[in-house]
């Protein structure tokens, strides 16, 4: 099976024999290939060529694969490039460390050619999904949704996380989870959670809930929809879950909060009417007479 020749893959491997073998296999499949003999060279070539995928050994002199990955994730130009670790260790601890560091996959050496190419195909397919999502949804998120769903802007301005917030904005009514967001933006759930929490002080799940709560308030305040209807419209499978999260954020149940808002609005309307009546009275009886 041959893949798109336009796809560019960077292999960072200090062992020349292993590196050349991987490069030959990839070239035979129609990929454009780039080789790097160590982590420093790998980072430089990744920033220069912006490959579609990086395959990197973990145990290398001077700079290990974990450091390479951390540096690439810190650079906004290379942060979303899919990354596969290669290592001779397959212990649960090492695998977990690799995935929590933000790797997209983890291959042990020796690995069969079939497993090697399958892992690459999976990562590139997920990257293609992300690009497809952007192509079909970016124009929608650029437009303002109905006012009842977009009366409040709650996402911080963090360019490195724009894809995360765009996906949440476009899909929060679909019952999305952390895993859905992670898949859409090309990160592991654990790494995405740490990245978002570090830069915003909140988790991905917290931002999903905040967006739903921001949409719930105008629906409760300005429409006659039932609590059940609003919960369903915001992606909740049951009203109890919605009501529990709403109470956690506002200290009141949706029903009580709605009544409170109605009382406040009635009070404002009464004051406004008094002002109008006072103005009308002044016109009939000018001051000083």
Cα 36 to Cα 42: distance, rounded to the nearest angstrom: 5
pLDDT digits (tens, 9 = 90+) for 48-65: 999 999 999 998 988 999
* In the chain, % of residues over pLDDT 70: 77
Q: Which two tokens stand for residue 225?
A: 């929809």
In a shared domain, residues 162 and 77: no
In a shared domain, residues 30 and 125: yes
Question: Residue 225 — pLDDT band, cuts 50, 70, 90?
Answer: very high
* Residue 17 domain-assigned (yes or no): yes
* pLDDT value for 109: 76
In a shared domain, residues 74 and 170: no
Q: Which two tokens stand for residue 30?
A: 């129609």
Burial of 48 (0-12, 13-18, 19+ CB in 10 A): exposed
Three-state DSSP at 6 gives coil
Question: Residue 103 — pLDDT band, cuts 50, 70, 90?
Answer: confident
In a shared domain, residues 100 and 187: no
* Residue 260 domain-assigned (yes or no): no
pTM: predicted TM-score of the whole model, two decimal places: 0.52
In a shared domain, residues 123 and 152: no
Per the structure, the count of domains in the chain is 2
* Residue 284 domain-assigned (yes or no): no
Last residue of a domain, one of 88, 108, 132: 132
* Residue 210 domain-assigned (yes or no): yes
* Residue 188 domain-assigned (yes or no): yes
In a shared domain, residues 236 and 154: yes
pLDDT digits (tens, 9 = 90+) for 10-63: 999 999 999 999 999 999 999 999 999 999 999 999 999 999 999 999 989 889
pLDDT digits (tens, 9 = 90+) for 237-279: 788 889 999 999 999 999 999 999 888 877 776 676 666 666 6
Segments forming the whole domain that contains residue 124: 8-132
**Mean pLDDT for the stretch of residues 145-160:** 62
* Residue 272 domain-assigned (yes or no): no
Cα 220 to Cα 210: distance, rounded to the nearest angstrom: 15
More confident residue, 117 or 289: 117
**Is the pLDDT score of 288 beyond 60?**
no
* pLDDT value for 8: 93
Q: What is the mean pLDDT of the chain?
A: 81
* pLDDT value for 142: 41
In a shared domain, residues 128 and 162: no
Cα 219 to Cα 157: distance, rounded to the nearest angstrom: 25
């Amino acid at each position: 099976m041959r893949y798109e020749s336009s796809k560019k893959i960077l292999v960072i491997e200090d062992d020349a024999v292993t590196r050349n073998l991987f490069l030959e296999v990839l070239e035979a499949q129609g990929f454009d290939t780039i080789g790097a003999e160590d982590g420093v060279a790998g980072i430089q070539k990744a920033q220069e060529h912006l490959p579609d995928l990086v395959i990197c050994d973990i145990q290398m002199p001077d700079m290990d694969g974990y450091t390479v990955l951390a540096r690439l994730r810190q650079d906004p130009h290379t942060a979303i490039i899919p990354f596969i670790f290669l290592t001779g260790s397959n212990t649960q601890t090492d695998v977990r460390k690799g995935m929590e560091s933000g790797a997209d996959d983890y291959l042990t050496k020796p690995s069969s050619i079939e497993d090697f190419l399958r892992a690459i195909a999976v990562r590139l397919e997920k990257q293609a999904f992300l690009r497809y999502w952007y192509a079909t949804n970016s124009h929608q998120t650029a437009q303002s949704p109905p006012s009842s769903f977009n009366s409040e802007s709650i996402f911080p301005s963090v360019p490195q996380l724009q894809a995360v917030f765009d996906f949440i904005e476009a899909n929060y009514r679909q019952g999305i989870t952390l895993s859905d967001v992670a898949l859409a933006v090309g990160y592991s759930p654990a790494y995405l959670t740490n990245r978002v929490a570090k830069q915003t002080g909140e988790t991905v799940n917290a931002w999903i809930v905040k967006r739903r709560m921001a949409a719930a308030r105008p629906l409760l305040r300005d429409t006659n929809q039932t609590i059940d209807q609003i919960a369903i419209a915001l992606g909740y499978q049951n009203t109890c879950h919605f009501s529990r999260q709403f109470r956690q954020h506002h200290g009141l149940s949706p029903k009580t909060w709605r009544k409170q808002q109605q009382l406040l609005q009635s009070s404002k309307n009464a004051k406004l009417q008094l002002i109008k009546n006072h103005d009308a009275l002044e016109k009939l009886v000018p001051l000083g007479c």
